[in-house]
Amino acid sequence: NVLILDFGSQYTQLIARRVRELNIFCEIFPYNHFPSDLSSYKAVILSGSPFSVRAEDAPHPDLSQIRGKMPMLAVCYGAQYLAHFAGGEVAPSNIREYGRANLSFIKGEEAFFDGVNLNSQVWMSHSDTIKSLPTNGVRLASTKDVENAAYRIDGETTYAIQFHPEVYHSTDGKQILENFLVKIAEVPQNFTPNAFVEEIVAEMQEKIGNDKVVLGLSGGVDSTVAAVLLHKAIGKNLYCIFVNNGLLRKNEFDSVLEQYKGMGLNVKGVDASARFLDELAGISDPETKRKTIGRVFIEVFDSESHLLEGVKFLAQGTIYPDVIESVSVKGPSATIKSHHNVGGLPDFMKLKIVEPLRMLFKDEVRRVGATLGISPALLGRHPFPGPGLSIRILGDITPEKVRILQEVDYIFIEGLKTHGLYDKVWQAGAILLPVNSVGVMGDERTYEKVVALRAVESTDGMTADWVHLPYEFLMLISNEIINKVKGVNRVVYDISSKPPATIEWE
């Protein structure tokens, strides 16, 4: 295992993902809160940071248990931190280096740079620079502006680099990480989807024994993979509940329920649409909608699970980014929207929690799902928010508006599929606007609803750009929507990126 110490860099998760791509398991811990027993770790990576090491309030953890005792790679801030406290000098640089640079010197005989050529492009992002190396430092690389772009400490397996190997623009970044982890630190590359499944199944069996587990399925990738994994571990002792909140996509409830049954899961579909729509009536405020749906979901789920006897565990599809977020250096980041399905159910349920996916990134969840034989169509589904269509109906929600939006959304999504565009888009959907506009159909003047279509590219939903869908496609879809969906006479396409907009409109 590899331990990544996070100093608050925006790139820390990226380091973890690159390491995992090498089939090496790694975990991120905040610099001020890491395990005291490090015996299960084979190497440590220090991340970058927005701080200057010279600042009073910068992270200055005690690394005496790590440095010199196990292989260590210090990246950016990490490299400066090492230099600053071990006899070197860090100072503001005359030239702030941001972006691409090229390695103008490489100490070629070092295993650290195996397979890396002179001039290799690296990604820099720092304003301080390492003026002189720490005691016993040996320079390994330079760029035009940064003399000490990489160094190691003589007599230790300690390496440091000023640039960011985890960033895609560092052409040989992955090779450098591999050189350090595999050739130098000799970490085994045994973290594969199959190995994960085997290990987690054993762990779940051990933890759960013969007890019963209840799990809320949503139709999404995470809860589905969690269910199939648990099913493999404990079979019929897993009870799944799939709640229809009346705000799902058209036909979604029935078709997903069918698929789950086809996968051998023990699943109960609960149609609570009427109750959700009743409770939502008259509510326009987005946060109140989310809270209402969250509350009703818990009430429905709670009373359903009380019908099952002797349930001891609640399973959740929490994934690693949620886990890191909640313990990160920066703390849970400011709530922009309260995503109700992150954070779990209240403790009145008195159930112990199991989270089989809590160590996986999204793409790893998909790979594990594929190993488990879940269909590519299910694994490739776009993300869909827990509050469903409620946050895509601007203003108050009525059954009629839900119907209109379901029809529009259906035409759009099916259109993306038939035109081979669905897999090129990260997320897509339609939004029902709270305005009417004038139109003309035949000789009649109409005064009907406007819908917006949204399709974005993203990797994690944190940032996103609108997809440049072909005009031809937009034309066909717009015609089909206006012709087929009663109550809509205008279609617009959202061309805003995130930031400053968000993916959802509410």
Neighbouring C-alpha atoms within 13 Å toward the C-beta of 24: 29
Residue 339 annotated among the catalytic residues of the structure: no
Contact (Cβ atoms closer than 8 angstroms) between residue 391 and residue 506: yes
Query: 219: annotated binding-site residue?
Result: yes
Name which position in 343, 383, 395, 439 contacts ligand XMP (CB under 6 A).
383
Contact (Cβ atoms closer than 8 angstroms) between residue 273 and residue 370: no
Q: Nearest approach, Cβ of 173 to ligand XMP (angstroms)?
A: 28
Q: Given 84, 126, 164, 340, which residue is catalytic?
A: 164
Tell me whether residue 64 or residue 335 sits nearer to ligand XMP (CB atom): 335
User: 3-state DSSP call for residue 203?
Assistant: helix
Query: 218: annotated binding-site residue?
Result: yes
DSSP bridge pairs for 498: 464
Amino acid code (one letter) for 399: P
- The CA distance from 247 to 250, in Å, is 9
Query: 463: annotated binding-site residue?
Result: no
Cβ neighbours of residue 251 closer than 8 Å, sequence gap 6 or more: 410
Q: Does 249 bind ligand XMP (CB under 6 A)?
A: no
State the SS3 of 311-327.
EEEEECCCCHHHHHHHH
Ordered DSSP codes for 175-211: HHHHIIIIIIS-------HHHHHHHHHHHHHHHHTT-
Q: How many helices (H) and strands (E) does the chain have?
A: 13, 18
Q: Does 13 bind ligand XMP (CB under 6 A)?
A: no
Name which position in 32, 119, 132, 502 contacts ligand XMP (CB under 6 A).
502
Query: 220: annotated binding-site residue?
Result: yes
Q: Nearest approach, Cβ of 472 to ligand XMP (angstroms)?
A: 27
Tell me whether residue 44 or residue 469 sits nearer to ligand XMP (CB atom): 469
- The CA distance from 196 to 203, in Å, is 10
Query: 398: annotated binding-site residue?
Result: no
Strands of 47-157 (E only): list them: 72-75, 89-106, 121-132, 137-143, 150-153
Residue 166 annotated among the catalytic residues of the structure: yes
Name residue, tokens 């888009």. Answer: 425
- 283, two tokens: 């509510």
Tell me whether residue 49 or residue 245 sits nearer to ligand XMP (CB atom): 245
Name which position in 78, 356, 387, 415 contacts ligand XMP (CB under 6 A).
387
Residue 76 annotated among the catalytic residues of the structure: yes
Name which position in 341, 390, 478, 489 contacts ligand XMP (CB under 6 A).
341
Tell me whether residue 132 or residue 459 sits nearer to ligand XMP (CB atom): 459
Q: Does 292 bind ligand XMP (CB under 6 A)?
A: no
Name which position in 217, 430, 461, 488 contacts ligand XMP (CB under 6 A).
461
Q: Does 176 bind ligand XMP (CB under 6 A)?
A: no
Q: Does 169 bind ligand XMP (CB under 6 A)?
A: no
Span of 3-11, 31-39, 332-340, 438-446 interacting with ligand XMP by CB under 6 A? 332-340
Contact (Cβ atoms closer than 8 angstroms) between residue 432 and residue 474: no
Give, as one character, the DSSP assignment of residue 227.
Answer: H
Q: Does 381 bind ligand XMP (CB under 6 A)?
A: no
- The CA distance from 235 to 253, in Å, is 23
Q: Nearest approach, Cβ of 503 to ligand XMP (angstroms)?
A: 3
The Cβ of residue 483 has, within 10 Å, a number of other Cβ atoms equal to 11
Q: What angle do CA 68, 175, 101 make, to 5 degrees?
A: 95
- 378, two tokens: 């299910």
Span of 61-69, 194-202, 335-343, 481-489 interacting with ligand XMP by CB under 6 A? 335-343
Tell me whether residue 312 or residue 358 sits nearer to ligand XMP (CB atom): 358
For ligand XMP (CB under 6 A), the number of binding residues is 15
Q: Given 27, 76, 97, 340, which residue is catalytic?
A: 76
Q: Nearest approach, Cβ of 385 to ligand XMP (angstroms)?
A: 3
Q: Does 291 bind ligand XMP (CB under 6 A)?
A: no
| Distance from the Cα of residue 475 to its chain's centroid | 33
DSSP H/E element including 364: helix 362-371
Name which position in 60, 69, 337, 403 contacts ligand XMP (CB under 6 A).
337
Contact (Cβ atoms closer than 8 angstroms) between residue 280 and residue 246: no
Q: Nearest approach, Cβ of 464 to ligand XMP (angstroms)?
A: 7
Binders of ligand XMP among residues 101 to 130 (CB under 6 A) are: none
Tell me whether residue 21 or residue 287 sits nearer to ligand XMP (CB atom): 287
Binders of ligand XMP among residues 397 to 436 (CB under 6 A) are: 427
- The CA distance from 118 to 106, in Å, is 6
Contact (Cβ atoms closer than 8 angstroms) between residue 7 and residue 82: no
Q: Nearest approach, Cβ of 416 to ligand XMP (angstroms)?
A: 16
Q: Which segments of 209-341 does DSSP mark as H helices, in order? A: 221-234, 252-262, 273-280, 286-307, 320-327
Query: 68: annotated binding-site residue?
Result: no
Q: Nearest approach, Cβ of 120 to ligand XMP (angstroms)?
A: 35
Q: Given 26, 27, 97, 166, which residue is catalytic?
A: 166
DSSP bridge pairs for 439: 446
Instruction: List, as residue ranges, the binding site.
Output: 218-224
Contact residues for ligand XMP, defined by CB under 6 A = 290, 337, 339-341, 383, 385-387, 427, 461, 498, 502-504
Binding positions for ATP are 218-224
Which residues are designated catalytic? Answer: 76, 164, 166
